[in-house]
Structure 1
Protein backbone atom coordinates (compact mmCIF):
# COMPACT_ATOMS: atom_id res chain seq x y z
CA UNK A 1 0.00 0.00 0.00
CA UNK A 2 1.09 3.53 -0.66
CA UNK A 3 0.98 6.19 2.08
CA UNK A 4 -2.23 7.73 0.72
CA UNK A 5 -3.99 4.36 0.95
CA UNK A 6 -2.82 3.87 4.54
CA UNK A 7 -4.07 7.36 5.38
CA UNK A 8 -7.48 6.73 3.80
CA UNK A 9 -7.82 3.40 5.61
CA UNK A 10 -6.90 5.01 8.93
CA UNK A 11 -9.58 7.67 8.40
CA UNK A 12 -12.18 5.02 7.49
CA UNK A 13 -11.31 2.94 10.56
CA UNK A 14 -11.55 5.99 12.83
CA UNK A 15 -15.00 6.76 11.46
CA UNK A 16 -16.01 3.12 11.87
CA UNK A 17 -14.71 3.03 15.45
CA UNK A 18 -17.18 5.75 16.41
CA UNK A 19 -20.12 3.72 15.08
CA UNK A 20 -19.60 0.73 17.38
CA UNK A 21 -21.18 2.36 20.43
CA UNK A 22 -24.00 4.07 18.51
CA UNK A 23 -25.41 0.99 16.77
CA UNK A 24 -29.15 0.74 17.41
CA UNK A 25 -30.03 -1.72 14.64
CA UNK A 26 -28.45 -4.61 12.78
CA UNK A 27 -25.94 -7.14 13.97
CA UNK A 28 -23.86 -4.57 15.88
CA UNK A 29 -26.85 -3.77 18.10
CA UNK A 30 -26.91 -7.41 19.26
CA UNK A 31 -23.36 -7.21 20.64
CA UNK A 32 -22.74 -6.66 24.31
CA UNK A 33 -21.12 -3.44 25.49
CA UNK A 34 -17.86 -5.32 26.13
CA UNK A 35 -17.87 -6.73 22.59
CA UNK A 36 -18.55 -3.30 21.12
CA UNK A 37 -15.72 -1.77 23.16
CA UNK A 38 -13.36 -4.55 21.99
CA UNK A 39 -14.26 -3.94 18.32
CA UNK A 40 -13.86 -0.18 18.81
CA UNK A 41 -10.45 -0.64 20.45
CA UNK A 42 -9.32 -2.94 17.61
CA UNK A 43 -10.42 -0.40 14.97
CA UNK A 44 -8.64 2.42 16.81
CA UNK A 45 -5.43 0.38 17.15
CA UNK A 46 -5.51 -0.63 13.49
CA UNK A 47 -6.17 2.98 12.47
CA UNK A 48 -3.16 4.06 14.51
CA UNK A 49 -0.95 1.50 12.74
CA UNK A 50 -2.11 2.69 9.31
CA UNK A 51 -1.65 6.35 10.27
CA UNK A 52 1.88 5.56 11.44
CA UNK A 53 2.63 3.72 8.19
CA UNK A 54 1.28 6.64 6.17
CA UNK A 55 3.72 8.90 8.01
CA UNK A 56 6.78 6.64 7.99
CA UNK A 57 6.65 5.02 4.55
CA UNK A 58 7.83 8.11 2.67
CA UNK A 59 10.75 8.39 5.10
CA UNK A 60 11.69 4.70 5.13
CA UNK A 61 11.14 3.86 1.46
CA UNK A 62 14.44 4.18 -0.39
CA UNK A 63 14.65 6.11 -3.61
CA UNK A 64 15.22 4.00 -6.74
CA UNK A 65 18.88 3.17 -7.35
CA UNK A 66 20.32 5.22 -10.16
CA UNK A 67 21.90 3.08 -12.84
CA UNK A 68 25.00 4.18 -14.74
CA UNK A 69 24.44 7.08 -17.11
CA UNK A 70 21.68 8.85 -15.17
CA UNK A 71 19.23 6.00 -15.63
CA UNK A 72 16.99 4.37 -13.07
CA UNK A 73 17.10 0.67 -12.33
CA UNK A 74 13.72 -1.07 -12.52
CA UNK A 75 13.09 -4.78 -11.95
CA UNK A 76 10.50 -6.74 -13.94
CA UNK A 77 8.89 -9.72 -12.21
CA UNK A 78 7.76 -12.22 -14.80
CA UNK A 79 6.24 -15.69 -15.22
CA UNK A 80 7.15 -17.17 -18.61
CA UNK A 81 6.28 -14.28 -20.95
CA UNK A 82 3.72 -12.69 -18.60
CA UNK A 83 4.85 -9.52 -16.85
CA UNK A 84 3.72 -9.57 -13.22
CA UNK A 85 4.91 -6.09 -12.30
CA UNK A 86 7.75 -3.58 -12.26
CA UNK A 87 9.53 -2.66 -9.02
CA UNK A 88 12.25 -0.31 -7.86
CA UNK A 89 14.05 -3.05 -5.93
CA UNK A 90 14.94 -6.63 -6.83
CA UNK A 91 13.67 -7.74 -3.43
CA UNK A 92 10.16 -6.49 -4.17
CA UNK A 93 10.09 -8.16 -7.58
CA UNK A 94 11.36 -11.42 -6.07
CA UNK A 95 8.77 -11.27 -3.29
CA UNK A 96 6.00 -11.04 -5.89
CA UNK A 97 7.28 -14.15 -7.70
CA UNK A 98 7.77 -16.09 -4.45
CA UNK A 99 4.27 -15.24 -3.24
CA UNK A 100 2.70 -16.57 -6.43
CA UNK A 101 4.75 -19.77 -6.39
CA UNK A 102 4.09 -20.47 -2.71
CA UNK A 103 0.38 -19.74 -3.12
CA UNK A 104 0.18 -22.77 -5.41
CA UNK A 105 2.80 -24.90 -3.63
CA UNK A 106 2.86 -23.90 0.07
CA UNK A 107 5.11 -26.82 1.10
CA UNK A 108 7.97 -25.69 -1.15
CA UNK A 109 10.84 -23.50 -0.18
CA UNK A 110 12.68 -21.48 -2.78
CA UNK A 111 15.95 -19.85 -3.65
CA UNK A 112 17.24 -17.65 -6.44
CA UNK A 113 19.91 -18.23 -9.08
CA UNK A 114 21.27 -15.06 -10.68
CA UNK A 115 23.09 -14.96 -13.99
CA UNK A 116 26.25 -12.90 -13.56
CA UNK A 117 26.23 -11.75 -17.21
CA UNK A 118 22.78 -10.26 -17.61
CA UNK A 119 21.65 -10.08 -13.97
CA UNK A 120 18.46 -12.08 -14.60
CA UNK A 121 17.46 -14.02 -11.50
CA UNK A 122 15.47 -17.24 -11.75
CA UNK A 123 13.34 -18.64 -8.95
CA UNK A 124 14.32 -22.20 -7.97
CA UNK A 125 11.82 -24.45 -6.18
CA UNK A 126 13.28 -26.60 -3.42
CA UNK A 127 11.21 -29.67 -2.52
CA UNK A 128 10.98 -31.26 0.92
CA UNK A 129 13.44 -34.01 -0.10
CA UNK A 130 16.01 -31.35 -1.08
CA UNK A 131 15.70 -31.69 -4.84
CA UNK A 132 15.60 -28.47 -6.83
CA UNK A 133 13.69 -27.52 -9.93
CA UNK A 134 13.65 -24.39 -12.06
CA UNK A 135 10.45 -22.43 -12.33
CA UNK A 136 9.33 -20.03 -15.00
CA UNK A 137 9.53 -17.08 -12.58
CA UNK A 138 12.28 -14.55 -13.31
CA UNK A 139 13.32 -11.06 -12.24
CA UNK A 140 14.98 -8.98 -14.95
CA UNK A 141 16.83 -5.72 -14.26
CA UNK A 142 15.93 -2.93 -16.68
CA UNK A 143 17.38 0.54 -17.14
CA UNK A 144 14.97 3.41 -17.60
CA UNK A 145 16.29 6.72 -18.88
CA UNK A 146 15.76 9.66 -16.54
CA UNK A 147 15.56 12.06 -19.49
CA UNK A 148 15.40 12.02 -23.27
CA UNK A 149 18.78 12.17 -24.97
CA UNK A 150 18.45 13.34 -28.58
CA UNK A 151 22.06 12.40 -29.35
CA UNK A 152 21.51 8.82 -28.22
CA UNK A 153 19.03 8.28 -31.09
CA UNK A 154 21.69 8.90 -33.73
Structure 2
Protein backbone atom coordinates (compact mmCIF):
# COMPACT_ATOMS: atom_id res chain seq x y z
CA UNK A 1 0.00 0.00 0.00
CA UNK A 2 1.37 3.40 -0.97
CA UNK A 3 0.86 5.44 2.20
CA UNK A 4 1.80 8.73 0.59
CA UNK A 5 -0.79 8.33 -2.15
CA UNK A 6 -3.40 7.31 0.42
CA UNK A 7 -2.59 10.33 2.59
CA UNK A 8 -2.93 12.71 -0.34
CA UNK A 9 -6.20 11.10 -1.45
CA UNK A 10 -7.72 11.14 2.04
CA UNK A 11 -6.58 14.69 2.74
CA UNK A 12 -8.16 15.75 -0.58
CA UNK A 13 -11.45 14.09 0.38
CA UNK A 14 -11.36 15.73 3.82
CA UNK A 15 -10.76 19.10 2.17
CA UNK A 16 -13.58 18.58 -0.31
CA UNK A 17 -16.02 17.47 2.39
CA UNK A 18 -15.16 20.38 4.66
CA UNK A 19 -14.33 23.23 2.28
CA UNK A 20 -16.41 22.14 -0.70
CA UNK A 21 -19.68 23.74 0.21
CA UNK A 22 -19.43 26.69 2.57
CA UNK A 23 -22.84 28.14 1.70
CA UNK A 24 -25.04 28.42 4.74
CA UNK A 25 -22.24 27.25 7.05
CA UNK A 26 -19.89 29.02 9.37
CA UNK A 27 -16.69 29.36 7.34
CA UNK A 28 -14.44 29.38 10.41
CA UNK A 29 -16.01 26.19 11.76
CA UNK A 30 -15.69 24.47 8.37
CA UNK A 31 -12.02 25.50 8.13
CA UNK A 32 -11.29 24.23 11.63
CA UNK A 33 -13.03 20.91 10.88
CA UNK A 34 -11.08 20.49 7.66
CA UNK A 35 -7.75 21.24 9.31
CA UNK A 36 -8.46 18.83 12.18
CA UNK A 37 -9.50 16.09 9.76
CA UNK A 38 -6.43 16.57 7.57
CA UNK A 39 -4.19 16.51 10.63
CA UNK A 40 -5.74 13.27 11.86
CA UNK A 41 -5.42 11.63 8.45
CA UNK A 42 -1.73 12.47 8.24
CA UNK A 43 -1.06 11.45 11.84
CA UNK A 44 -2.75 8.06 11.41
CA UNK A 45 -0.94 7.34 8.15
CA UNK A 46 2.41 8.37 9.64
CA UNK A 47 1.80 6.10 12.62
CA UNK A 48 0.86 3.29 10.24
CA UNK A 49 4.15 3.76 8.40
CA UNK A 50 6.09 3.56 11.68
CA UNK A 51 4.29 0.37 12.70
CA UNK A 52 4.94 -1.17 9.29
CA UNK A 53 8.63 -0.26 9.50
CA UNK A 54 8.81 -1.65 13.04
CA UNK A 55 7.29 -4.94 11.88
CA UNK A 56 9.75 -5.12 8.99
CA UNK A 57 12.65 -4.55 11.41
CA UNK A 58 11.25 -7.21 13.73
CA UNK A 59 11.08 -9.68 10.86
CA UNK A 60 14.68 -8.98 9.89
CA UNK A 61 16.03 -9.23 13.44
CA UNK A 62 14.11 -12.38 14.36
CA UNK A 63 16.16 -15.60 14.52
CA UNK A 64 15.25 -18.26 11.97
CA UNK A 65 12.31 -20.50 12.81
CA UNK A 66 13.34 -24.13 13.28
CA UNK A 67 11.18 -27.24 13.20
CA UNK A 68 12.41 -30.77 13.78
CA UNK A 69 11.84 -33.52 11.24
CA UNK A 70 11.40 -37.07 12.48
CA UNK A 71 12.44 -39.53 9.76
CA UNK A 72 13.10 -43.17 9.03
CA UNK A 73 15.78 -43.89 6.41
CA UNK A 74 15.21 -40.44 4.92
CA UNK A 75 11.42 -40.75 4.78
CA UNK A 76 9.67 -38.00 6.73
CA UNK A 77 7.47 -39.08 9.63
CA UNK A 78 6.44 -35.66 10.94
CA UNK A 79 7.47 -32.10 11.75
CA UNK A 80 7.57 -30.80 15.31
CA UNK A 81 8.30 -27.48 16.96
CA UNK A 82 10.49 -29.20 19.57
CA UNK A 83 13.34 -31.68 19.21
CA UNK A 84 12.00 -33.84 22.06
CA UNK A 85 8.63 -34.38 20.37
CA UNK A 86 10.34 -35.55 17.18
CA UNK A 87 12.60 -37.86 19.23
CA UNK A 88 9.56 -39.29 21.07
CA UNK A 89 7.93 -40.13 17.74
CA UNK A 90 11.02 -42.05 16.61
CA UNK A 91 11.43 -43.79 19.98
CA UNK A 92 7.83 -45.03 19.96
CA UNK A 93 8.19 -46.51 16.49
CA UNK A 94 11.56 -48.14 17.27
CA UNK A 95 10.15 -49.66 20.48
CA UNK A 96 7.13 -50.96 18.56
CA UNK A 97 9.63 -52.83 16.35
CA UNK A 98 11.12 -54.46 19.45
CA UNK A 99 14.20 -52.30 20.06
CA UNK A 100 15.01 -51.93 23.77
CA UNK A 101 18.50 -50.48 24.28
CA UNK A 102 18.07 -47.17 22.48
CA UNK A 103 20.32 -44.12 22.61
CA UNK A 104 20.53 -40.89 20.66
CA UNK A 105 23.86 -40.11 18.97
CA UNK A 106 24.74 -36.72 17.51
CA UNK A 107 27.93 -36.32 15.52
CA UNK A 108 29.98 -33.29 16.53
CA UNK A 109 29.93 -31.78 13.03
CA UNK A 110 26.23 -32.48 12.30
CA UNK A 111 22.90 -31.32 13.72
CA UNK A 112 21.11 -34.62 13.04
CA UNK A 113 20.37 -36.94 15.97
CA UNK A 114 20.48 -40.64 15.06
CA UNK A 115 18.77 -43.32 17.12
CA UNK A 116 21.05 -46.28 17.81
CA UNK A 117 20.15 -49.71 19.16
CA UNK A 118 22.94 -50.73 21.55
CA UNK A 119 21.75 -54.36 21.54
CA UNK A 120 22.26 -54.55 17.77
CA UNK A 121 25.23 -52.14 17.76
CA UNK A 122 23.71 -50.32 14.80
CA UNK A 123 21.68 -47.34 13.75
CA UNK A 124 17.95 -47.97 13.68
CA UNK A 125 17.40 -45.71 10.68
CA UNK A 126 15.43 -43.23 12.80
CA UNK A 127 16.75 -39.68 12.96
CA UNK A 128 15.76 -36.15 13.93
CA UNK A 129 17.00 -33.18 11.91
CA UNK A 130 16.44 -29.45 12.43
CA UNK A 131 14.88 -27.72 9.42
CA UNK A 132 14.86 -23.96 8.98
CA UNK A 133 11.48 -22.61 7.87
CA UNK A 134 11.71 -19.80 5.34
CA UNK A 135 9.55 -16.73 5.90
CA UNK A 136 9.23 -16.07 2.19
CA UNK A 137 10.18 -17.70 -1.09
CA UNK A 138 13.69 -16.89 -2.25
CA UNK A 139 14.39 -18.01 -5.84
CA UNK A 140 18.14 -17.71 -5.18
CA UNK A 141 18.10 -19.90 -2.04
CA UNK A 142 19.76 -23.29 -1.88
CA UNK A 143 17.22 -26.04 -2.65
CA UNK A 144 18.67 -28.55 -0.15
Q: Which has the larger radius of gyration?
A: 2
